[in-house]
A = this chain, B = another copy of it.
Amino acid sequence: MSRGLRVQQDMEKERETLQSWKERVGQELDRVVAFWTEHSHDREHGGFFTCLGRDGRMYDDLKYVWLQGRQVWMYCRLYRTFERFRHAELLDSAKAGGEFLLRYARVAPPGKKCAFVLTRDGRPVKVQRTIFSECFYTMAMNELWQVTGEVRYQSEAVEMMDQIILWVREDPSGLGRPRLPGAPTAEPMAVPMMLLSLVEQLGEADQELAGKYAELGDWCARRILQHVQRDGQAVLENVSEDGQELSGCLGRHQNPGHALEAGWFLLRHSTRKGDPELRAHVIEKFLLVPFRSGWDPDHGGLFYFQDADDLCPTQLEWAMKLWWPHNEAMIAFLMGYSDSGDPALLDLFYQVAEYAFRQFRDPEYGEWFGYLNREGKVALTIKGGPFKGCFHVPRCLAMCEQMLDALLSRPAPGACTPLAVPAL
């Protein structure tokens, strides 16, 4: 066989593999979305039930604000960017979820602080002293504006965003956390990550806002990059505000899935900035370093938490395999491959996707299991709960379908020309 023929056959084989994954991912996305539309809509009060058992049956009717905002966002994105999801049920449910948030999310309007969890009919049950309920509220409102064009949604998004920025960069006192003399001024990586994704979200369809938040985006990227520590050998979840390692468990805490998620946030940032050096740095430090340390060599899958000194973490669930780090890893590696053309990243995408489809998928009832033990056995049979809703699985599948589609549309598959960032 001539060398040219072999190369062509290899390319065709790769194309077939990409094509078959595109189909697998697309079909799975349909099944996952069907699970949530069938089981999660509260037709009486609006909003979504997320405490759903294996077969979709509701086991609690509490409404977690993170998950309300995320599902509104997800439905709008699917409606907006997938022809086959452009149907009224998705949009109407997203709008009903948005109205539920507008009416009930804030604990003491006109104050901006949102509850963490509400009763089915919208009374606040718990408030977290963090920014995340407000961030998912903002994401939801901006998407509703992008889909409907109604400016009241966009005003809500921008006003909340400005409050969040104030809390993070100027005065956190409104969050209600006491400042204690022994508490280190630790920055959890989640904060600049979350803000960076909001910067992207709000700038996506509004050039003026993109300009307004450009400096903030750079600040977020710098702050996230500060979490690369120990001569580039580790991403640490918490560092001091000036980028120093903190002492004790807090300082050594690692979350490989979170680092991988930060990785693809930064990949998109580097594409927006047109910065190939940053891209290479991010692929090495936020994709490969966390994967090398975080992938379980014995049973496969990503550990939930690790200690940078390889000591035993104190979190009981540290060795469990959670669904979302695998979703983030799939996105990160496929994006890394799309952006760089490095086939090693595509192989890692396949490795993670094979594990995830084999271990988390539920062929019987749809959606994915969320929580496996270290060995990969289902430890919790729930499909949704206080922290799992209609978000990580469909976001991953939708983004991967779009990226696979884009890869297959390239004139020469496997060629190294970086893609534009896909729409979702």
Contact = CB atoms under 8 A, between A and B. Distances in A.
A312 B373 contact: no
Given A119-B182, A124-B180, A182-B123, A249 B59 contact: yes
Given A249-B51, A374-B373, A313 B380 contact: yes
Contacts of A184: 125
A248 interface: yes
B381 A312 contact: yes
A100 interface: no
Q: What's the interface size class on A, roughly?
A: 35 or more
A127 interface: yes
A61 interface: yes
Interface string A363-388: 00000000101100001111001100
Given A249-B51, A313-B380, A180 B59 contact: no
Contacts of A318: 380
A386 to B, nearest CB: 6
A1 interface: no
Q: Count copies of this chain in the complex.
A: 2
A307 to B, nearest CB: 8
A60 interface: yes
A266 interface: no
Given A51-B249, A62-B248, A182-B119, A386 B124 contact: no
A5 interface: no
Nearest to A248: B60
A352 interface: no
A7 interface: no
A349 to B, nearest CB: 27
Interface string A100-127: 0000000100000001001100111111
Contacts of A374: 373, 379
B124 A311 contact: no
Nearest to A313: B380
30 contacts: A51-B248, A51-B249, A59-B248, A59-B249, A59-B311, A59-B312, A60-B248, A61-B248, A62-B248, A62-B249, A107-B180, A115-B180, A115-B182, A119-B182, A122-B182, A123-B182, A124-B180, A124-B181, A124-B182, A125-B182, A126-B183, A312-B380, A312-B381, A313-B380, A314-B380, A314-B382, A316-B371, A373-B373, A373-B374, A374-B379
Interface of A: 51, 53-54, 59-62, 107, 115, 118-119, 122-127, 178, 180-184, 247-249, 311-314, 316-320, 371, 373-374, 379-382, 385-386
